[in-house]
């Protein structure tokens, strides 16, 4: 059976064969615990962890000791938020944005039980938060501002440098969920003035189950409290025996991403524009939700007026695409991201996300264009009797 063309890289990416090759020895041959360096098995595991930290630090222009390994970006986001309650009562306000990932929004609201005030800022129709509004909302009580780098549904790139400068000027911690930007866009935590940043390996051709939190080393130290207690690993912030194969894979994925970043960015941008123009030429009524001039080159979000996303997904059997973010697309509910943009229901209920990646080819893009055009024509010619 022929596999559909995979255009859902924002949900997850396949492990790059070069990453798998780097990981394999750490399952059976090199199985030491880096917490025990009394023998060579533990010492070589520790060296592998240190090398991975270095590769991730290079990707972010950070220092290796500022990389805290976690199980993924969801845990990183939770650690960034829930570790903050030690700041009470001096600072007890958190500011974030309506289109953030659920892992950020849920973590933020969890702080309300600890006495925090959480304010969720609106976005405009292109998904951008207004830095001017953010500046108005920052007060002496503000502990943290969290704004994602690239939206996981429409792909817009927030003005991170401007927000970072604003937070630094007010001595407010700035957290950035950079999952959709990691390995796809250049990230310099120093230039962007980011204090905490979340990444996940499986979004950048590494394995699932491993991620990291960049935690700026400054004086005084950022006062995070561990969310997982135990043996004191990861600077006391994340107890538990380290996932060495996953960490090695994450480090290799970061190394490859940095080496190939600019060429891959331009290639994806060309393919995405090819996909958009090919569909638009045949279907001029299609509504573009992705602001192409300020977005990830890997994401294209389109709305098809008059055709529900349910019918489209069912009919496009030869394409692996999404109706929204991976964490919510199966719910069947309207996207809270699109609702935040203020899109009319005829657009928000008829939206598809195409996300491209390292193994996407021009031939696949042409196939996708043809499939979308033919499928839309068939669906319009045969009105649905189904309730979606």
Local structure of residue 91 (DSSP, 8 states): -
Q: What are the Cα distances from residue 102, in Å, to 45, 109, 148, 245?
A: 34, 10, 11, 28
**Is the four-CA dihedral 70, 177, 122, 126 of positive or negative sign?**
negative
> Tokens standing for 208?
């699932």
Written as six digits, the tokens of 245 are: 């194969």
* Annotated catalytic residue within 28, 176, 212, 327: 327
* Joined tokens for residue 180: 């959709």
Give CA–CA dist 298/15, Å, rounded: 17
Active site residue 167: no
Alpha-carbon span 230 to 320, nearest angstrom: 41
CA distances for 324 relative to 74, 104, 292, 332, 355, angstroms: 18, 17, 18, 10, 11
Burial (CB count within 10 angstroms: exposed 0-12, middle 13-18, buried 19+), residue 334? middle
Q: What whole-number distance in Å separates Cα of residue 273 and Cα of residue 280?
A: 10
Q: What is the set of active-site residues? A: 327
């Amino acid at each position: 059976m022929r596999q559909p063309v995979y255009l859902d890289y924002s949900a997850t990416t396949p492990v790059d064969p070069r990453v798998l090759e780097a990981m394999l020895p750490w399952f059976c041959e090199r199985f030491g615990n880096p917490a025990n360096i009394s023998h060579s098995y533990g010492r070589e595991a520790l060296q592998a962890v240190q090398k991975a930290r270095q590769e991730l630090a290079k990707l972010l222009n950070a220092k290796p000791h500022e990389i805290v390994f976690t199980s993924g970006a969801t845990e990183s986001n939770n650690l960034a938020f829930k570790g903050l309650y030690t700041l009470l009562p001096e600072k007890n306000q958190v500011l974030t944005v309506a289109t953030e990932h659920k892992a950020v929004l849920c973590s933020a609201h969890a702080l309300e039980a600890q006495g925090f005030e959480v304010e969720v800022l609106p976005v405009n129709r292109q998904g951008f938060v207004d830095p001017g509004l953010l500046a108005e909302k920052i007060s002496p009580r503000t502990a943290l501002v969290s704004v994602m780098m690239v939206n996981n549904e429409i792909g817009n790139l927030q003005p991170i440098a401007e927000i970072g400068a604003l937070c630094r000027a007010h001595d407010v911690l700035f957290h950035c969920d950079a999952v959709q930007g990691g390995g796809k866009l250049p990230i310099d935590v120093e230039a962007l003035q980011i204090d905490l940043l979340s990444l996940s390996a499986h979004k950048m051709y590494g394995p699932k189950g491993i991620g990291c939190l960049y935690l700026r080393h400054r004086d005084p130290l950022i006062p995070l409290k561990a969310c997982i207690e135990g043996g004191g690993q990861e600077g006391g912030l994340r107890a538990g025996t380290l996932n060495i194969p996953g960490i090695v894979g994450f480090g290799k994925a970061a190394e490859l991403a940095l080496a190939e970043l600019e060429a891959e960015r331009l290639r994806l941008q060309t393919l995405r524009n090819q996909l958009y123009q090919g569909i638009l030429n045949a279907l001029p009524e299609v509504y573009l939700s992705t602001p192409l001039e300020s977005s990830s080159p890997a994401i294209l979000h389109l709305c098809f007026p008059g055709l529900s996303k349910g019918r489209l997904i069912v009919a496009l059997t030869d394409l692996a695409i999404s109706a929204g973010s991976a964490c919510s697309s199966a719910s069947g509910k309207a996207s809270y991201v699109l609702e935040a943009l203020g899109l009319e229901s005829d657009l928000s209920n008829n939206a598809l996300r195409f996300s491209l990646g390292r193994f996407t080819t021009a031939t696949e893009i042409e196939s996708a264009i043809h499939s979308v055009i033919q499928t839309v024509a068939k669906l319009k010619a045969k009105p649905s009797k189904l309730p979606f």
